[in-house]
Chain A
């Protein structure tokens, strides 16, 4: 096995000064028997080292598909990336041959998944699944790889790591399992970590522990973290910036405080209003009316228009609203963002 570290440096066009991760105009569609489902329709964002970007949206808005496209683990067929770029340090990953791409996974960009029980292989010990990374990517011996695996379990604070290394995933509790998942993602010191709903399957106290562990590890390693979630509560605590996705587009992007204080897109605003709040106890909770669009048949113009209380004629017309720059580092795809902001 060749030294992956050495061969990574010769990735054609790799520029250490280029942005860590930059996604430009990404389009993903699923070609199924019922038609073409356009899951991602021009998503763009960027991530810097040490930064946490939250991608927020309802199920089916394209956030997980975006993550899988970045990782290059999209099931294909039926999934196809039809347009766009995924630039890691200047290198467009989508243009790399598969064997080069494979070296980027886990080494440079790693991912943790929602349900650790199904995401871990049930018939192998966690030690095997961790050590496998060192053996496959670094060509380490069995004993060395095992020691590294124990070290990793220690880092994610699993008690008695040396003994638990020989346990199977089903022998861990939900929170501990997610820690194993995190250990596995961090094994090869990636620069980017994508966490796809990392705490959704956990109960609330464990959620907080996992999130603070993630935040701590991110700080230590100065990693870029993409946090995919539908939970606005989780986002508020840890994210630096938020990208809100709807029907495969980033409809609003802003620093976290700005978006909570003054949302610029009607959808973001509606999302915020639908969070239950203690000070509004006894009031009727506002829900967003209607359903998210069917991806095989996305409305023309702004995809949110059928559910939007600000919608007027221009919203129904193609092309969809462009990303209006409404402040430094802030964009919103709404023709009437001023109205929404309350200006």
Chain B
């Protein structure tokens, strides 16, 4: 187990450098004049240009720029944005909002996916199963760039069930509609995987044994079948959680939630290199750690898996 974790951590280091390198390259190597971009339309004096060049090591090669950036990052210094704000502080402020939003979305999605998936599997071929199938197909076909504004319009403005935007007052209630929208992006796949997995397990020999033991159908399904069926679903939920936590760009944009995705979207629009690279670097770490935890959770669910 310990050796497995060490090996995974070593792999993560490699992935981390690979991912940040690509993002860094995309953001920096492609800019013609970052100083002019920073200043906007205003002319930049020669002395200021020299000072900024010095500060960002702009006269040095791309590789040494990456080196300077990474050594700062690894000592905990994410630097400042082009507008002079501290990136660590910005991240610390945005992070809890995104975390809350993504956790709400994943819980909503997982609960719905597992319950509906199991039901659909038990009554496969029935009206409920077909209805759920059609519903998931609809969700899968609906891109979030459509779904988010439509949901905002219908439930936020027309019906007025939820606040249309969240902005600064982040609460369970204001995040509800965005969380539902976000959940729809992952619930369909989770549901289908649950259904398939349960259908497969219902045919297993151990189910026959459980029934021969005179257990109630409810106990057979929710105790014996479910735990076996959840093994692939948990992986998927883990990957989804990683994706959601690394910023729900569109949803946060539409509902005006100043979270990670919102800041990231703004950074990309303003060509704010330090902000984008800083955020993405942290997100890469989050994603990797979540995936490691999921893999470890595997062993807890399935005793046959032992990590060496």
Contact = CB atoms under 8 A, between A and B. Distances in A.
Interface of A: 68, 71, 73, 102-107, 110-111, 113, 115, 118-125, 132-133, 136-137, 168, 170, 184
B3 interface: no
B213 A118 contact: no
A71 B304 contact: no
B200 interface: no
Contacts of A122: 206, 228, 302-304
B235 to A, nearest CB: 15
B209 interface: yes
A105 B302 CA distance: 28
Nearest to B202: A75
Contacts of B308: none
B207 to A, nearest CB: 9
A113 B205 contact: yes
21 contacts: A73-B211, A73-B212, A102-B215, A104-B214, A105-B211, A106-B213, A106-B214, A111-B212, A118-B204, A119-B205, A119-B208, A120-B206, A120-B209, A121-B209, A121-B228, A122-B228, A122-B303, A133-B214, A136-B216, A170-B303, A170-B304
Nearest to B203: A75
Interface residues of B, number: 20
Interface in B214-257: 214-216, 219, 224, 227-228
Nearest to B201: A121
Given A68-B208, A73-B208, A137-B214, 18 more contacts: A105-B212, A106-B214, A110-B212, A113-B205, A113-B209, A118-B204, A119-B209, A121-B209, A121-B210, A122-B303, A123-B302, A124-B227, A132-B215, A136-B216, A136-B219, A168-B303, A168-B304, A184-B209
A124 B207 CA distance: 13
A123 B301 contact: yes
Given A136-B219, A168-B304, A170-B304, A121 B206 contact: yes
B246 to A, nearest CB: 31
Which 5 pairs between the two chains have the least Cβ-Cβ distance?
Answer: A105-B214, A118-B205, A121-B206, A106-B214, A168-B303
Contacts of A106: 212-214
A120 B210 CA distance: 8
Contacts of A123: 227-228, 301-303
Most chain B CB atoms below 10 A, which of A68, A115, A132: A132
A85 B206 CA distance: 27
Contacts of B304: 122, 168, 170
